[in-house]
Amino acid sequence: MGANPFTPTFGSVPPELAGRAQLIKDILEGLENGPGDPNRASIFVGPRGSGKTALLAAIAEQAEEMGWISVNVTAREGMLDEIMVQTREKGSHLIRPEASSHVTGVQIRGVGFSRELVDRRSTWRSEMTAILQELNDAGAGLLITVDEAASSSEELYTLVDVFQHFVREHRNVALLLAGLPHNVSLLLDDDGISFLRRAFRHSMEAIDDNDVADAIKETVENAGRSIDPKALALAARGAGGFAFLIQLIGYHMWRQHPNEERVTLEDVENALALAKHDMERMVLEPTVRSLTPREMDYLLAMTQDGSVSQVSSIAERMGVAPNNASKVRKRLVERGIIGPRGRGRVAFEVPMLKEYLLERAGEL
């Protein structure tokens, strides 16, 4: 049999991207429709491991197949320079070499001419406008994807400001952002970046079990094996609609008996146990170790509820004043461990964390 087709690595693009087909279709149609299509300014919002980075990468790959130049960055210092460098590199066959020097004489030195660098005053917007004009003249669009979008990134404000001018100028360009729920909320609340409030916002919600099953089945079959129907159903349920877990469970079930033609129920049962162990080691244990005592109390109080907790009930269980509990909640939300679910309600954002805390409540 071939190599393991499942890719439990954050950010890697799996062979089958479960449950995101319509979303990808909408974005790609937006690129085809031309300047002005609202899908050309979109934000993907979800917890870590929900597939945001993989989705950005998948769209970028397909955009390149359509003739677009795609540049992919993370919202951190140096992002703007990285966008320009990537654009010049990937579009080098369409863009003239940067005119940063001119001939000052004809003094022959072997072969060639003497050149002198010239200080040219410009802005990032003017530089990118010139580059984008050349790309558009050549029939190519520019797709910019930004991961880990947050209000703490000053350069992101510049990018969005320049992008809205590109939109007004009807340039062939698109901007896709991805970020954690709280970070995106803070970003959109800032009046200095109000243009983004008109962007399409897509929530990376739990993937339907049927879509998960389809993706697992297609991945297995395309790699030359088959999977028992009961095993497939168990794997789909075990993933809980979480993109990273789909790949993690798939990876482990494949490697149980990689040379056998069929993935069995036993293979999946073993894979679920291994995936749980990996999630604990890679995600849950580091998360719990980083908690303060008050943060731990807050999360343990949440485990007494169903899927959503009332913040007033949490404060009562903790035995603290509501304003003190709100400070703890704020820290947990900012770290992406929990998230708001409407006014006065919160829920766990990290998959399996609630179950992990319940199993170890007496040890914590």
DSSP secondary structure of 244-271:
HHHHHHHHHHHHHSTTSSEE-HHHHHHH
Instruction: Label residue 123 exposed, middle or buried (CB < 10 Å: 0-12, 13-18, 19+).
Output: exposed
Domain 21-98+122-203 - what CATH class? alpha beta
Instruction: Label residue 127 exposed, middle or buried (CB < 10 Å: 0-12, 13-18, 19+).
Output: middle
From CA 143, how far away is CA 68, in angstroms rounded?
A: 7
From CA 158, how far away is CA 125, in angstroms rounded?
A: 9
From CA 50, how far away is CA 224, in angstroms rounded?
A: 27
Predicted local distance difference test score (pLDDT) of residue 110: 44
Average pLDDT of the residues in 6-15? 84
SS3 category, 212: helix
Predicted local distance difference test score (pLDDT) of residue 104: 45
Average pLDDT of the residues in 246-266? 96
- For 179, 196, 296, 297, 303, the CA distances from 144, given in Å and listed in that order, are 15, 15, 39, 41, 40
Of the candidates 120, 130, 127, 185, the residue with the CA atom closest to the CA atom of residue 158: 127
Percent of all residues in the chain with a pLDDT value above 70, rounded to a whole number: 93
Mean residue pLDDT across the chain: 89
Average pLDDT of the residues in 250-266? 96
From CA 320, how far away is CA 326, in angstroms rounded?
A: 10
Average pLDDT of the residues in 85-110? 67
Neighbouring residues of 114: CB distance < 8 A, sequence distance ≥ 6: 103, 104, 105, 106, 107
Neighbouring residues of 252: CB distance < 8 A, sequence distance ≥ 6: 270, 271, 274, 275, 278
Residue 182 pLDDT > 90, yes or no? no
Confidence class for position 191, pLDDT limits 50, 70, 90: confident
Confidence class for position 268, pLDDT limits 50, 70, 90: very high
The third-level CATH classification (topology) of the domain covering 290-359 is Arc Repressor Mutant, subunit A (1.10.10)
Predicted local distance difference test score (pLDDT) of residue 107: 42
| Percent helix, strand and coil across the chain, each to the nearest 5 | 50, 15, 35
CB under 8 A, 24+ apart: contacts of 272-278 = 272/234, 272/235, 272/238, 275/238, 275/245, 275/248, 275/249, 276/352, 278/8, 278/248, 278/252
From CA 259, how far away is CA 81, in angstroms rounded?
A: 48
Residue 118 pLDDT > 60, yes or no? no
- Structure tokens of 360? 């170890």
Average pLDDT of the residues in 66-85? 95
Confidence class for position 350, pLDDT limits 50, 70, 90: confident
DSSP character string of 12-76: ---SS-TT-HHHHHHHHHHHHH-TT-GGGEEEEE--TTSSHHHHHHHHHHHHHHTT-EEEEEESS
Q: How confident is the model over 12-61, as pLDDT tens digits? A: 888 888 999 999 999 999 999 999 899 999 999 988 788 999 999 999 99
More confident call, 231 vs 122:
231
Predicted local distance difference test score (pLDDT) of residue 121: 55
Among 53-62, 119-128, 143-152, 296-305, name the one with the lowest average pLDDT. Answer: 119-128
Predicted local distance difference test score (pLDDT) of residue 163: 96
Predicted local distance difference test score (pLDDT) of residue 147: 96
Confidence class for position 1, pLDDT limits 50, 70, 90: low
173 beta partners:
142
- For 70, 181, 202, 334, the CA distances from 42, given in Å and listed in that order, are 15, 14, 7, 22
Q: How confident is the model over 35-46, as pLDDT tens digits? A: 989 999 999 998
More confident call, 297 vs 363:
297
Residue 74 pLDDT > 90, yes or no? yes
pTM for the model? 0.81
Confidence class for position 111, pLDDT limits 50, 70, 90: very low
Confidence class for position 361, pLDDT limits 50, 70, 90: confident
Confidence class for position 221, pLDDT limits 50, 70, 90: very high
Confidence class for position 117, pLDDT limits 50, 70, 90: very low
Predicted local distance difference test score (pLDDT) of residue 73: 96
Residue 193 pLDDT > 90, yes or no? no
Confidence class for position 122, pLDDT limits 50, 70, 90: confident
Percent of all residues in the chain with a pLDDT value above 90, rounded to a whole number: 70
